[in-house]
Structure 1
Amino acid sequence: MTELVQLNFSEKYQIRLKQSQDKLYIFCFIRKKWLVYTPEEWVRQHVIRYLIDDLGYSISAIALEVPVPITGMRKRADIVVYQNAKPYIMVECKAPKVVINQTTFDQIARYNIVLGSQFLMVTNGINHFYCMMDFEQKRYNFLKQLPKK
């Protein structure tokens, strides 16, 4: 069985896993279906629980793999939380072994030029970075956490 990396999230989260025919599956709480386990999906499911259980956002406000058209390419934002029908929080999830660096922030910043989320989160499940956009100055300011609902 795949070794699960302990992430920097609450241990109370109920992340469902199952083994079937030598493959590990993880249940997506938003899509309501089993997906083949990947380290990035492991992180994504923890972030979903964090947004719902700790910050109070509703399941209906959260969308996954939101299309982001960038210069003719079809990219996807991992998680977008909507408020008043507008992107409010965008989250970029990486596998635990992926180092969060400037390239990661450049990626989410490019996506946010299109989406216009007020808050950003970048995480590999171990290190979490939270930002609030300053659209006038065209930069992001780091925060200690995301706002609660």
Structure 2
Amino acid sequence: MFKPTALNLPPATLKLSRIQQKVYVFDILRKKNLLLTPEEWVRQHWVHFLHQFKKYPKTLMKIEGGLVLNDLQKRSDLLIYNTKGEKILLAEFKAPDVKITSKTFEQISNYNSIHKIPLLLVSNGLEHYFFKVDFVTSTYTFIDELPIYNKET
């Protein structure tokens, strides 16, 4: 059973419950209990952080958005839309004990080859990477932090 660990994010008020010897976390986006795994621990902290500190509306966040990549069904960890319904942020989360490697960046890049989203986030809860994608020049630039939500974007 996963034992929650401290992350390199502000503390989040997560609602945990125990059901038949398993720990669940209440997902504020899907409004249901999910089995608490290390990756889910990271994702739920990020959802709270993005909403509370970066002002991204919960109603514009979608967990595990489906996509087809090379004829395989995949799921992105978190998608955020603007009020026009355009995707503005794609996030990939790993468990805290999983190192962020070039393979992780390759995974989000592959997903983004389908989504075409200008802002990307990769995190294991301890290390965080943010970058902007320029589709005209096919380049990306690492940025120090995520911008605060702008409803004009």
Same fold at TM > 0.5:
yes
Structure 1 CA distance for aligned equivalents of residues 148 and 133 of structure 2: 16
- CA deviations 1:72-118 (Å, max 9, x no partner) are 10011100000121110000010001100110000000111111111
Please, which runs of 5 or more residues in structure 1 have no aligned partner?
A: none
Matched residue, 2:70:
71
Matched residue, 1:3:
3
Q: For residues 1-149 of structure 1, what are the structure 2 equivalents within 5 Å?
A: 2-11=2-11, 13-83=12-82, 84-149=84-149
Give the superposition deviation at 1:16: 1.1
Cα RMSD (Å) = 1.0
Aligned length: 148
TM-score by length of structure 1 reads: 0.96
Q: Any runs of at least 4 consecutive aligned residues in structure 1 with deviations exceeding 3 A, and if so which? A: none
Residue 10 of structure 2 aligns to a residue whose secondary structure is coil
Structure 2 CA distance for aligned equivalents of residues 139 and 27 of structure 1: 37
Matched AA of 1:72: D
Identical-residue share of aligned pairs (%): 34
Structure 1 CA distance for aligned equivalents of residues 106 and 19 of structure 2: 38
TM-score by length of structure 2 reads: 0.93
Give the superposition deviation at 1:139: 2.2
Aligned residues of 2:2 and 2:37 also touching (Cα < 8 A): no
Residue 114 of structure 2 aligns to a residue whose secondary structure is helix
Matched AA of 2:135: F
Residue 90 of structure 2 aligns to a residue whose secondary structure is strand
Please, which runs of 5 or more residues in structure 2 have no aligned partner?
A: none
Residue 47 of structure 1 aligns to a residue whose secondary structure is helix
Residue 8 of structure 2 aligns to a residue whose secondary structure is coil
- CA deviations 1:21-79 (Å, max 9, x no partner) are 21111111100000111000000100101110010011111011011111110011100
